[in-house]
């Protein structure tokens, strides 16, 4: 960071308001914009993400740059990806003194993050940090996990109910396809609860900071990953039905009730079991049993 440039931390609500007024910025509902104004929460995020001066950090949705300033001070380099072109002049101003920050006006879902890792991070694994818009939380996280981008961790502020679903265990109301997908690729841990008064403007829901420690390779072994996730989707598309009925009725699967029953018997599982009762490991075993039938 340049020492001869004057800058003021945006974590001060008065400074944030002044910047928004200076640029006549209007919040865009379609982008789910809520800017963090609590330094304690930012400190928790930086700590949970374990950012060091060796790290390349990808920040998704920097807003006006509040968290970006903190990340810049902790990391080797920060790439801040902002979809709203109206925020780019604001970021140019608020991050002027931070020489290790690169602002990119792009849709994160359209970027080639493998190329980013190769060209910008010198092949290092990326640490992702974000205050994600609630409406697009799941697509972004699943894209990061499923695309096999070299990411070591994802630390994000998201809607509380979504964070609860990510770390949910079998036989709970929050457990579902998202829980299984996240836990297949990573180890999730909620590190902070964040009330609405920590943001401008205040959102209508509470938030949580969750860290996903991404596995180099999934710890659960399965022969056909795509088949397993088709089975999981089928199980939770009709979560109140037994697995026998849910899987045999799915348009994604070509499997009969008899085949599902045979797979469950092979695994010593009750024919009346529902998907919400199976652990990630058990879904992998069920997938393997069904794939071995050579349907």
User: What integer is the mean pLDDT of 91-106?
Assistant: 95
Residue 29 has pLDDT above 70, yes or no: no
* 56 band by pLDDT with thresholds 50, 70 and 90: very high
Q: Which of 28-42, 152-166, 231-245, 281-295 has the lowest mean pLDDT?
A: 28-42
User: What integer is the mean pLDDT of 13-20?
Assistant: 80
User: What integer is the mean pLDDT of 1-25?
Assistant: 67
* Mean residue pLDDT across the chain: 89
Q: Which of 167-171, 177-181, 200-204, 286-290 has the lowest mean pLDDT?
A: 200-204
Q: Which of 13-17, 98-102, 105-109 has the lowest mean pLDDT?
A: 13-17
Q: Say what the pLDDT of residue 119 is.
A: 87
Report the b/e string of 93-103 with b at 16+ CB within 10 A: ebbebbebbeb
Q: Say what the pLDDT of residue 68 is.
A: 95
Q: What confidence tens digit (pLDDT) does each residue in 213-224 have?
A: 999 999 999 999
Q: What confidence tens digit (pLDDT) does each residue in 212-260 have?
A: 999 999 999 999 999 999 999 999 998 899 999 999 999 989 899 999 9
Residue 3 has pLDDT above 60, yes or no: no
Q: Say what the pLDDT of residue 200 is.
A: 76
* 205 band by pLDDT with thresholds 50, 70 and 90: confident
Q: Say what the pLDDT of residue 28 is.
A: 63
Q: What confidence tens digit (pLDDT) does each residue in 66-88 have?
A: 899 999 999 999 999 999 898 99
Q: Which of 32-46, 49-63, 72-86, 265-279 has the lowest mean pLDDT?
A: 32-46
Domains and CATH numbers, the chain: 13-214 (3.40.50.150), 225-291 (1.10.8.100)
* 6 band by pLDDT with thresholds 50, 70 and 90: very low
Report whether the peptide linkage leading into residue 258 is cis, meaning its omega lies within 30 degrees of zero: no
Q: Say what the pLDDT of residue 227 is.
A: 96
Q: Which of 3-17, 38-52, 214-228 has the lowest mean pLDDT?
A: 3-17
């Amino acid at each position: 960071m340049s020492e001869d440039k004057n800058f003021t931390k945006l974590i001060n609500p008065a400074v944030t308001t002044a910047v928004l007024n200076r640029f006549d910025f209007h919040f865009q509902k379609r982008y789910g914009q809520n800017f963090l104004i609590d330094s304690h929460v930012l400190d928790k995020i930086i700590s949970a993400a374990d950012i060091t001066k060796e790290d390349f950090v990808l920040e998704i949705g920097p807003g006006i740059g509040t968290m970006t300033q903190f990340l810049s001070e902790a990391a080797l380099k920060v790439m801040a990806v902002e979809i709203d072109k109206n925020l780019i002049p604001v970021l140019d101003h608020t991050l002027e003194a931070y020489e290790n920050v690169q602002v990119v006006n792009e849709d994160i879902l359209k970027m080639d993050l493998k190329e980013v890792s190769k060209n910008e991070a010198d092949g290092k694994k990326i640490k992702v940090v974000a205050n994600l818009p609630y409406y697009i939380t799941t697509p972004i996280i699943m894209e990061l996990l499923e695309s096999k981008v070299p990411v070591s961790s994802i630390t994000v502020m998201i809607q509380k109910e979504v964070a609860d679903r990510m770390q949910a265990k079998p036989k709970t109301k929050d457990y579902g396809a998202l829980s299984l997908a996240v836990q297949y690729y990573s180890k999730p841990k909620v590190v902070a609860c964040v009330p609405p008064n920590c943001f401008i403007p205040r959102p209508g829901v509470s938030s949580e900071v969750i860290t996903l420690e991404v596995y180099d390779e999934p710890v659960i072994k399965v022969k056909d990953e795509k088949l397993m996730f088709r089975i999981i989707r089928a199980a939770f598309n009709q979560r109140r039905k037994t697995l026998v009925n849910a899987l045999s009725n799915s348009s994604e699967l070509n499997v009969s009730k008899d085949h599902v029953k045979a797979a469950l018997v092979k695994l010593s599982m009750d024919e009346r079991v529902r998907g919400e009762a199976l652990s990630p490991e058990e879904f992998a075993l069920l997938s393997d049993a069904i794939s071995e039938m050579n349907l």
